[in-house]
Structure 1
C-alpha cells in the first residue's frame, strides 16, 4: 500500500499554490504590521499619529465593529472578538452588580475578549450615570438636573459631576451618557427633571458638568467621557394629538424656526463643545423648521454642518437606543441615512450582527463612503486613546471605598439643600426651631425611591428605591434631634396636640415616555392619598408642604390657601437630610425656580417671556431666608 505521503503527493503542489495565494490575499486585505511594536502602541507619540497608524492597519470589518455599541446582555459568546465590537453598555441604570469590584470583573472579562484580537483595540463601556452612578448600589446619588438648576451654582454642578465620575470609573465604566442639556419648554414632558431648566442661559451655565466628568486628564481613574444630550431640540417637542396618541411630547416634533432652535436649544451644546465634551448623543425627536419634520438621527445639516462644522465638535456623535431604527421601515436606508448624516457610533443595542452586516453591505455598494467610515472611527479611536485605554484597559478598583463615602455624601447633602425652593412662607413659619412637636405625613416622607426618581437602579426608577440613603423623615430626625416627631403616612393618626405639620407629597418615579402627562398615571397632580393628607394636616395646624417631584405639579388654589409654607424639593437624591437642613435653618433657603410653575396643568406650555405670562409662581421665584 502506498504511504499517505505518496498517495497525496500529486495534490500537494496545487495545494501549496492555493495556500500561497491565500496568504497573498490576506496581506492585501489586512494591512501588514511593521516589525516590532507598531506606532499606535507608542504612548510617547501624539494621539493623532497613533490614530492614523491604527486606522491604516484596520480592515473595513474592524472599522464597522468599532462603530457598534451593544447592550452587554445581548452579546453572545465571543462576539466581542469575532465582530470587533467597539463599545458595550447596560440599559438604563440597571443595577446589574452589587459592588465596584463585581462591575469591574464583568467589564474586564469583556475587555479581555476585545484585547485578544489582531489589533487589540480596547472596548469603551458606557452607562447612564446621570445624577450619580445609580447603577451601583450604595453610590452617592445627587439631585436630578432640575434641582441643580434650582441651586443655580455651576461650581456645585461641576463638583457633583466629579464625584459621579469617580464613583463610575472605579467600577470599570469609562463613559457616562450625561449631562442632559435639553431646555425644557413644556413641563408635561416626562424628561423635565433631566433638564436644568427652561432658560438656555441657565442650562448653558451648567455645562460645567462636562469638565466635572472629564477632569483635566481623561485618562485619570477619576474621569469619564461626558455626553451632551439630546441633540437637539428634544425639550421643545409639542403637545398635541394624533390618531393613536393623545399626547406628543417624548420623541415628538419641535415646531419652530431655525432662529428659535438656535436661541433656545443649540446654545447649551455650544457651551458643552467649548468645554471640550467628548461625545454628543442625538435625540429621538424631530425638528420641523418650516419644511416638515426631520428625525434628528437623519439630519445631516444639524449634525454634520452645524455640530461638526460650525461648532467644531471633534468627538463622537452617538445615536440613542435603537434611534437609528426609527428613520425608515427599510433598515438599510436607516443605517445609510444615519451614518451619512454624521452619526459615528450606533447604539444598536441588540441586533448587532444585522447592523454590522448592513453597514458593510452599504459600504460595498458605495452608498456610504470610506471617508465617512474613517472619520467616524478616527473620532472613536481618539477618545479611546485619550481615556488611556490602550495603556490601562482594565479597571482600577483601588478607590472602591470612595463609593458612597461620607465626603461624597456631604456634597450630595449640600446639593440637595441648595436645590430647595421656598415658594410660600406665610407668617414666616420656616425655618422651624427644631424643638417643635411635629406631625409628619405624605407618601414622600419615608420613601427613598420617590426622592431618587427615575434613572435610579432601573430605567423608570422604583418606589422601593435602591442602594443606600437617608429619607426626608430620617433627615428631619437627624437635623432636628430635639423635635418630637409623629409619622403617619396617610395622616390617619389623630392630628391633635402638635405644633406644626409637615406633609411630604411626591410623584411616583418615572422616566421618558411613561412620565409624559397624558401617557399614564403621571398627570402632574397630587395623588388622592397625598391630597387627603394635606387637607387633613393643614386643616388642623400650621403646616409646611414639601413637594418631591420632577416638575411643577398642580396643587389647587383652595388647597394652597390652607398651606402656610410650600417648598419645591424636586428629586433630591440619596441625602434626605439636605431637604431638612433649610427646614430647620441649618442652611438658608437659596434656591429659585428653574422652570415656571403654572396654576394648572392645562396652562402648559408656559415660559418666562410669553405673552400674557400669568403663572402661579414665576420663573426665578424663591424666598430667601
Structure 2
C-alpha cells in the first residue's frame, strides 16, 4: 500500500473541506482555463482550481515582475471565493522558466540526457523552481519522461534519451530539484510528469491532429506556411497511435512514471496519443487501473490542452463523460471553460458521471495543494525575483552546455587554439540566440533572433579568443583562406507536431554553406544545433570534426569553452544516430552511424586565459 503524502491531520482537513464543497465548487476545482480566456471575477465566482499560461501566454510587459503581478492577481482572486481554496498556476517551464524574457534558458532535455549527470539535472531543477516560484507560479508542466523511438517526432528533444533507465534517473533528479527542501517549502514547485503513456511510440502517419486548423494552431507563430509544413511532415506522428504491445509499453515507457511517483510526484499529464487505437484521455485501464491502482499514484491527472475535444469530435458531452470516468481529474480547457463546467454538471446530474468519481478527483487535487502548503502560504516571497536570470543560474546553464556537447568526429581539428591563427566562423545560426534555444522559448514555437537576453555561440567564441581572432561570415562567402573554420548549422525552431519532419537531411542551402567554407579552410568543424540527430552520413567524410550541440539555450559561451579546449568534451549520445534517411525509427534498418552512448575520445583541455 502506498503511503499517503499527507499527515493524518492533513487528510482530515482535506476530507472536512471536501464535505463542505458544493458540486459547483468541486467542478470548479477540476477546471483549468488559459489566462487569456478568464473573465474578471470568474476565478472566485466559479471557484476555479487552476489557471495556466500556454506557450507564449505572457503578460505585457513580459518581465519577471510582470509575470508575478499577473499570477498574483489570479491567486488573490481565488482567496475571495467562499471556501478560499488556493489557486495553483501552471506553466510550461520545460528548460528553465522559458516563457519569461530574461530567465535562464537551460539546454533542452536531449542535451541534458547527453550529460548523463543526475546531480547537474537536480541543480537545474532547483534553479528552475526558484525562478518559477519567483513569479508566484507553483506548478510546472515538466518533466517530459518520453522515450522517443522515431526521431522524426517533433518532441524528440523533450526526451532525455532512448534509454528508459537514463530517462528515469534524470526525471527523478529534476523532481528532487523542484522539491528542494520539501514539498511544503515556499519554493517547491509541483512537477507534472508527462505525457502518460507511450506518447513517444506512435506510428508515423497515424496522427489526425492537422485535419482541422483550429484556434490552437492559429495561435502558433510559424515562419512557414502551414501547408508547406504539412508537406514536410508536420503532424504525422505527434498525437498519433502507439501500436506497441503491452509488454513493450511496460518495459520501455512505463518505468519513468513508476520512478517519478516513487520520488513523490503528485501530478501526471495524460497524453494526446492513443494506445492500440484508444485515446489515452479515455483509457480507463491505463489511467485508473495502471496509474492509480497498480502504481499507487495518489496525485491528480490533468488533461492536455483541449485534448478532450479529440475523443468524440462534435459530441462534447460524450468527451467529458468518457474522460472523467476514465480517470482525468482536472481538465485543461483553455478557451470554453464554462462549456466544460456545464457539460460535467449535466453528466453528474444524469448519473453519467458518478458523484464518487468527482469526489475522488477533487480529493486528489486538494491533496496536492495541501502537500504544497498552499493553504498556509498561497504566495511566494517577492524577493525571489532577484534570482530570475541571475549570474549563478547562468553559470549553471553554461556548465550544462559544456557537459552536453558530444564529439562525434575529430581528425585533428579540435581543440581550436585561442592563441593561434584566426578562426572563420560561418552560418547565420552561429549568431542566433533563438536558434540555440529552439521551441518553447518565449513563445510556443520559439523564434529566431534575440528573443531573450543571452550569449550566442559567436559571442562566446569572440569572448574566448578575442574579437579580432574570430572572423564571421553569415553566408560563408570569404575572400581568403583560413587554417580553421567552424560552421554552425541549426534546425528551425519548432514545437510538438509542428516539428514532425519526414526528411532529416541537411538542406541544399546548408550543404552549400558548408561546401563554401570547406573550400576556404584547412580544417573544418561543423557544430549542429538540433532537437534530434540529423542524417549527415554523406557529408561527414568532408568534415574534420563534428559536434552535436543539441539546443543549448541562452549560454553560448559553454560551446566556446569546449571548442577551445578549456573544458573537455564529456557528453555521450542519448540517442542512436541514424545512418540513412530511410531508417529514422530505432531498431529499424542497418546499424546506426553512431550508437546510443557513443562519443569520440575526449580531448585533453588546453589551459589558458
TM-score, normalization: structure 1? 0.88
Match of 2:302 in 1: 318
Matching of residue 568 in structure 1 with residue 568 in structure 2 = no
Q: Distance in 1 between matches of 2:56 and 2:290?
A: 31
Match of 2:428 in 1: 443
Matching of residue 230 in structure 1 with residue 195 in structure 2 = yes
Superposition deviation, residue 395 in structure 1? 3.6
Q: 1:583 aligns with which of 563, 569, 585?
A: 563
Match of 1:461 in 2: 446
Matching of residue 355 in structure 1 with residue 343 in structure 2 = no
Residues 378-431 of structure 1, C-alpha deviations (whole Å, 9 max, x = no match): 1111111222221222242112111111111111000011000000001x3211
After TM superposition, the structure 1 = structure 2 runs for residues 392-431 of structure 1, keeping only pairs within 5 Å, are 392-426=377-411, 428-431=412-415
Q: 1:129 aligns with which of 80, 93, 98?
A: 93
Q: Distance in 1 between matches of 2:207 and 2:29?
A: 39
Superposition deviation, residue 466 in structure 1? 1.9
Q: Is the 8 A contact 1:490 1:530 kept in 2?
A: no
Matching of residue 545 in structure 1 with residue 510 in structure 2 = no
Q: Is the 8 A contact 1:490 1:529 kept in 2?
A: no
Q: Distance in 2 between matches of 1:242 and 1:343?
A: 22
SS of 1:206's equivalent in the other structure is helix
Match of 1:20 in 2: none
Matching of residue 277 in structure 1 with residue 265 in structure 2 = yes
Superposition deviation, residue 492 in structure 1? 1.7
Q: Distance in 1 between matches of 2:179 and 2:387?
A: 18
Q: Are residues 158 and 613 of structure 1, via their aligned partners in 2, closer, same or farther at CA, if it must alter by over 3 Å?
A: farther
Superposition deviation, residue 499 in structure 1? 1.8
Match of 2:472 in 1: 487
Structural RMSD (CA): 1.8
Match of 2:584 in 1: 604
Match of 1:202 in 2: 166
Between 100-109 and 451-460, the greater mean CA deviation after superposition: 100-109
Q: Distance in 2 between matches of 1:125 and 1:534?
A: 46
Match of 2:493 in 1: 509
Residues 154-185 of structure 1, C-alpha deviations (whole Å, 9 max, x = no match): 11111111101100010011100000000000
Matched residue count = 569
Match of 1:215 in 2: 180
SS of 2:297's equivalent in the other structure is coil
Q: Is the 8 A contact 2:205 2:240 kept in 1?
A: no
TM-score, normalization: structure 2? 0.91
List alignment gaps of at least 5 residues for structure 1.
1-42
Q: Distance in 2 between matches of 1:339 and 1:90?
A: 23
Q: Distance in 2 between matches of 1:242 and 1:350?
A: 23
Matching of residue 286 in structure 1 with residue 251 in structure 2 = no
Larger of the two Rg values belongs to structure: 1
Residues 563-608 of structure 1, C-alpha deviations (whole Å, 9 max, x = no match): 000000000011001111111111111111111111233211134x
Superposition deviation, residue 89 in structure 1? 0.3
Match of 2:593 in 1: 616
Superposition deviation, residue 98 in structure 1? 2.6
Q: Are residues 256 and 499 of structure 1, via their aligned partners in 2, closer, same or farther at CA, if it must alter by over 3 Å?
A: same
Superposition deviation, residue 254 in structure 1? 0.7
Q: Is the 8 A contact 1:435 1:483 kept in 2?
A: no
Q: Distance in 2 between matches of 1:374 and 1:601?
A: 51
Residues 459-502 of structure 1, C-alpha deviations (whole Å, 9 max, x = no match): 000112422111000111123338711100111222x2422000
Residues 503-559 of structure 1, C-alpha deviations (whole Å, 9 max, x = no match): 0001110001110014xxxx42323332212111123321100000000112241x2
Q: Are residues 279 and 620 of structure 1, via their aligned partners in 2, closer, same or farther at CA, if it must alter by over 3 Å?
A: same
Residues 59-109 of structure 1, C-alpha deviations (whole Å, 9 max, x = no match): 011000000000011011211111111100011144434332221211221
Matching of residue 474 in structure 1 with residue 459 in structure 2 = yes
SS of 1:249's equivalent in the other structure is coil
